Structure 1
């Protein structure tokens, strides 16, 4: 008897998130939240090679985490979460059919742990590919909601809602969270000149190292439990998101840069560890070359990256970048460009069938 195994390949990708104005207000402990953020590529890429045929073995998902140089297999219906729990939890949230074996490769163009929402991007890209395998991909907003639940409900991690929205929906966005975790989102349609100037002047700077955003969240939550000052800072962060919304639509990048810097100082007030010594060195260098603004991305802390809105003059901007590179250590620029697509899926059905098994 001859069995036939059919193969197909699904590719998906999702952007990272940078330059989040109002971050920290998109959390369960904030109540209401307002955020302006930007999706950027290159981000995260996923490839799933699907083999269909006779009932597959229990550990029928093979995962290749390229950035970690790790490969492991697991049962999607009974994950143990001991290795890369996020990857296992995402597959378990949308498991393949019993006759399907998956060979999954995941790669990120930026390092993990630099406060650009890569965990959300991975989860969104993986869920998108898995739903494509089922033939029923939900709207981007629903993918974002599911990815958020994977982190918070399945794994019990601290996570705001903005990163998943940025990864799934793309674009420069204003996000309003009337109450956690519900949201409404608006894409900001900038003038062509503003968009071009913004893209030319934005720089993503990696100070080196990595951090645990969950650990930092816990520290901030302990501060917020004292009420008073912490919640006043959250209100000020929400106000900055409103201002950033208007500044971008007005094409006022000078004001927008000032808002970025103000946001960073509010992060410092929320917890001093959110702005690392490396970040301060980068900020001082950018300031000395006339940068319009700087924002420590996401949760921040040691290893957290920065978005710099460089000076308008291209030559001065290049001198700034050289000076940043000359700071030494592991400080480097990560080239990125703004993304409007969000989650992208390409499902390739291979026409051939490969016979496997034996004849009787």
Structure 2
């Protein structure tokens, strides 16, 4: 049996500028971080040639083409494993629609598990690129490309997407104290709503040409946030998150709604400086920047919503167990 641990993420700044239809013309950038919540993918050899795929449901099939779980199906096609394995996914969050990058995390984790099963060492960059290929090109999902890279590499990363199609990223090398301060001031609350991101992202993608000024400003804020964090001005993050969220809501009609706006304003009145709905929007998790002195007031104001304690994580996708007989 092999077990792969792959992190979920919080997207902090620049989301939307990682669509190829935008950055191939204008360049893009994001600041995003892995967190200490994961999706685990296990793979083991079966005694027969059948395939067993376990997630929120169980599939027992004879051929890869029969697999309903499209991410695992395409990962198996790409890696060439066609029979006699059992693959299971387990996660620390709702199955889908969380806004924490779970689809890309599953894709990266599945690829990593399948290559490990083949005893093939692959570069982190290849895992990210192949996950992008599966989700965007094979399955045609209207998504950006930050999630796959964060899932593969981990850490708090600033990534730039060039007009030439390159992804140039680096991990922010912060002191342990600075990283802890940033992490301690971020809170996550579940909105109670999960959603399919595709509808929101399709509209956002369609609107790109009419939102160039907004996207340019979001890109600028991502650069400023990166500089402020590296200069240890952590409290600037809250204000910048608020400014960026006001811009992001204009990218598509379903990114926010009256209920989400009310939740966010309730948190702001209680002491949150800024925040955003994580991921595409429309539901999932509300990420807030709250100074430690105001956190209990915010928790009390949002007592009807489940808090999801987390810390920013360093690990990317990795093998945590490997025993093959």
**How would you bin the TM-score normalised by the shorter chain?**
over 0.9
Runs of 4+, deviation exceeding 3 Å: none
3-state secondary structure, aligned to 2:207: helix
TM-score by length of 2: 0.93
In structure 1, which of residues 87, 112, 128 is the aligned counterpart of residue 72 of structure 2? 87
1:147 aligns with 2:127: no
In structure 1, which of residues 312, 320, 337 is the aligned counterpart of residue 292 of structure 2? 312
1:156 aligns with 2:123: no
Match runs of 1:93-108 below 5 Å: 93-96=78-81, 101-108=84-91
Aligned residue number for residue 270 of structure 1 = 251
Q: Which runs of 5+ in 2 are unaligned?
A: none
Give yes or no for contact 2:32–2:157 (8 Å, CA) kept in 1. Answer: yes
3-state secondary structure, aligned to 2:235: helix
Aligned residue number for residue 343 of structure 1 = 317
Aligned residue number for residue 8 of structure 2 = 16
Aligned residue number for residue 37 of structure 1 = 32
3-state secondary structure, aligned to 1:198: helix
Cα 1:248/1:344, change in 2 over 3 Å: same
Cα 1:304/1:350, change in 2 over 3 Å: closer
Aligned residue number for residue 280 of structure 1 = 261
In structure 2, which of residues 300, 303, 308 is the aligned counterpart of residue 322 of structure 1? 300
How many residues end up aligned between the 2 structures?
A: 321
How far, CA to CA, are the matches of 1:184 and 1:73 in structure 2? 41
3-state secondary structure, aligned to 1:272: coil
How far, CA to CA, are the matches of 1:343 and 1:164 in structure 2? 10
Give yes or no for contact 2:43–2:117 (8 Å, CA) kept in 1. Answer: no
Shift of 1:191: 2.2
Match runs of 1:159-308 below 5 Å: 159-179=143-163, 181-224=165-208, 227=209, 229-301=210-282, 303-308=283-288
3-state secondary structure, aligned to 2:65: coil
How far, CA to CA, are the matches of 1:260 and 1:342 in structure 2? 24
Shift of 1:148: 0.8
Aligned residue number for residue 19 of structure 2 = 27
Shift of 1:272: 3.4
3-state secondary structure, aligned to 2:323: strand
1:135 aligns with 2:119: yes
Aligned residue number for residue 93 of structure 2 = 110
Shift of 1:87: 2.1
Give yes or no for contact 2:5–2:320 (8 Å, CA) kept in 1. Answer: no
Shift of 1:180: 6.9
Give yes or no for contact 2:51–2:85 (8 Å, CA) kept in 1. Answer: yes
Deviations 1:190-247 (A, max 9, x none): 22222111121211121012222111111123323xx3x4111111111111011101
Deviations 1:11-38 (A, max 9, x none): 0011111133000000022121100011
Shift of 1:49: 1.5
In structure 2, which of residues 43, 54, 61 is the aligned counterpart of residue 64 of structure 1? 54
How far, CA to CA, are the matches of 1:141 and 1:11 in structure 2? 20
Deviations 1:247-283 (A, max 9, x none): 1101112211111111111111212321232321221
Coordinate RMSD, CA, aligned: 1.8
Give yes or no for contact 2:111–2:127 (8 Å, CA) kept in 1. Answer: yes
Which of structures 1 and 2 has the bigger CA Rg? Answer: 1
3-state secondary structure, aligned to 1:278: helix
3-state secondary structure, aligned to 1:285: helix
The structure with the greater share of residues assigned to strand is 1
